A and B are shown apart, each in its own frame.
Chain A
């Protein structure tokens, strides 16, 4: 297994700058997820790491080797594609052994490798079938098997689960996570699905318009998003963004939440390291996740960071384990999570408890988080 170091990578296609200066480094055995909306450059970055495209400027190091000008087959990498890219005229066994044969690995070793990989991925009984005779999930496993058989130092996954149905996607996600735990490989995984990013990654690099927005562990990104884009991208349903004004109210600084019917509630915001003095009377955006606004937090009775407000229920969306309650605060639609038994029907006012401890504030102009 090898580490991966990317230094100030830029990539342009003609006049279009797709990557505008990417730098990151991961340790051997880490699973890095590159996530972002379509067009952000994540697949391009993966192709550069693989060597399938040339770099415009910058440096890529695999382990201690600079691989800028080394061809894909000599970089000791393997890739799993979104379309699986299984060779249609060969059966599964030949698909798995193709990369080994071109490297003139001895036959006995090839057979041993195929046996081991087929067992690991449970595709042993499919070895004589052609790709057209396999289901989507089976093809995906063969594609992974082909990469595993090569035993490279870095695995590259390009949206491998995007073509699977929802249920299969969840199963395969867990399988990939288990695989990573077992064989501790270095993996770079590209996806547009933020749930895959959260569940699989050791660290996530969120990309937008050719730049890295934030590069940290899933939990850190979830709790401390560095800007509005990251905050809105990660988490489903997404974070609520409530426009408000920082006010001084009885020696405490905080925000007023107007919940309709003329009702207004003051929420003091006191977080260590957060200085709101320069923001008094200025507009900010309050970011608060839906699960932090609920009917109640029964196991946190004395928590001073939890405040009560009341608002009129607009819409209810049951999800099974809980209900999404849509209310209106400061003119914006706000999502809350509540227990199905504790909600009021639409049109009626409902008491909501707000846990302000994890709330984040954003500058509306720069979209950066206040107090980073």
Chain B
């Protein structure tokens, strides 16, 4: 009995308890610091303008209403058009889906070539491609604008898709190449002897085992492209703006009264897809990144 109590005492020495209290306090403060803006946004979007004027920042809504949300989606004024952000939301979707899919599949093919079909100068080529990961967006704005103009797709969703594919290719190639390098070369050798060529090996052998890194690439690209503002504002016309740009314009458009509840609702709408992706697939992202690290 004496041993038992001394054992439990060891786990809970005053020093250990104090340490835990400090750690938890810091963590709780950090959580509050990060979540308070989201909390404020959500409750503000559920209030009426009256409520906002007469209450204060973190007060609970007197009556919960979804009017701000409806207005944000369908009737809010952005510039001179008053159709809400739904059109721009769909612009973003139309931009993100092809850009993510194409940049991912091309990255997979590139990674496959760089890791399994090394050719003369492939290492140099890969280093150049890698440089693309580190080039600041701003550097390529002018050249890209002139290229899009020459291709006739300036200020369109197609143009944005192209920009994001090109820019994202550096990252997706890197992801896939690093993943495929961990897959044994013997697999490709065995397939070559079995008679499979370049594409057959890609389809039947490499792709089926690439699910983890596909998830990583898709999540990464999706969040990068959806959240992008710079390319969006530089290369889109008034019809082809993505939701990030539209949000900025919406917040800056006001006819006298600043409708905070509508602004908040729009911001949340703009952020929902990426939030959703991280909540649902976040752990797969981490799993995918470490998938190649431990040899099965």
Query: Taking beta carbons and an 8 Å cutoff, which residues of A are in contact with B?
Result: 50, 52, 71-73, 77-79, 81-85, 87-90, 98-99, 102-103, 132, 146, 150
Contact = CB atoms under 8 A, between A and B. Distances in A.
A87 B191 contact: yes
A49 B49 CA distance: 81
B79 to A, nearest CB: 51
A99 B200 CA distance: 12
Contact of B194 (A83, A84, A88, A98): A98
A166 B20 CA distance: 51
Contacts of B128: none
Given A102-B200, A132-B296, A85 B195 contact: no
A81 B194 CA distance: 13
Contacts of B70: none
A72 B192 contact: yes
Contacts of B187: 85, 87-88
B152 interface: no
B151 interface: no
B294 interface: no
B174 to A, nearest CB: 23
A96 to B, nearest CB: 10
Contacts of A90: 204, 208
B182 to A, nearest CB: 12
A83 B184 CA distance: 8
A98 B193 CA distance: 11
Central interface residue in B193, B196, B208, B209, by most chain A CB within 10 Å: B193
A79 B189 contact: yes
Contact of A85 (B189, B200, B208, B209): B189
B205 interface: yes
B190 A85 contact: yes
A99 B195 contact: yes
Nearest to A79: B193
Contacts of A78: 193
A52 B195 contact: no
B196 A83 contact: no
Given A85-B187, A132-B296, A102 B208 contact: no
B63 interface: no
Contacts of B184: 83, 85
A69 to B, nearest CB: 15
B189 A102 contact: no
A81 B195 contact: no
Interface SS, B side: helix
Nearest to B187: A85
Given A83-B184, A132-B296, A89 B194 contact: no
A83 B188 CA distance: 12
A72 B193 contact: yes
Interface of B: 184, 186-187, 189-196, 200, 204-205, 208-209, 296
Given A85-B184, A85-B187, A102-B200, A73 B205 contact: no
Nearest to B196: A102
Contacts of B204: 87, 89-90, 98
Contacts of B205: 87, 89
Contacts of B196: 73, 98, 102
Nearest to A75: B193
B275 to A, nearest CB: 33
A62 to B, nearest CB: 14
Nearest to B188: A85
A90 B192 CA distance: 16
Contacts of B195: 73, 99, 102-103
A81 to B, nearest CB: 5
Smallest CB-CB A-B distances: 8 pairs: A89-B208, A99-B194, A85-B186, A102-B195, A73-B195, A85-B190, A81-B186, A72-B193
A251 to B, nearest CB: 63
A132 B296 CA distance: 9
Nearest to A97: B194
Nearest to A98: B194
Nearest to B205: A87
B62 to A, nearest CB: 58
B205 to A, nearest CB: 6
B186 to A, nearest CB: 4
Nearest to A77: B193
Given A73-B195, A89-B208, A132-B296, A79 B200 contact: no
B192 A52 contact: yes
Residue among B187, B190, B200 with most chain A CB within 10 A? B190
A87 B196 CA distance: 12
B209 A73 contact: no
A90 B194 CA distance: 14
Nearest to A104: B195
Contacts of B296: 132
Given A87-B205, A102-B200, A132-B296, A81 B190 contact: yes
A85 B194 CA distance: 12
A150 B209 contact: no
A135 B117 CA distance: 31
A150 B194 contact: yes
A136 B205 CA distance: 21
Contacts of B209: 88-89
8 contacts: A73-B193, A82-B186, A87-B187, A87-B205, A89-B205, A98-B194, A98-B204, A146-B190
Contacts of A87: 187, 190-191, 204-205
A73 B190 contact: no
B211 to A, nearest CB: 9
Contacts of A72: 192-193
Contacts of A84: 186
A103 B195 CA distance: 7
Nearest to A80: B190
B214 to A, nearest CB: 13
Given A99-B193, A99-B194, 15 more contacts: A50-B189, A52-B189, A71-B192, A73-B192, A73-B195, A83-B184, A85-B184, A85-B186, A85-B187, A88-B209, A98-B194, A103-B195, A146-B190, A146-B194, A150-B194
A162 to B, nearest CB: 13
Nearest to A73: B195
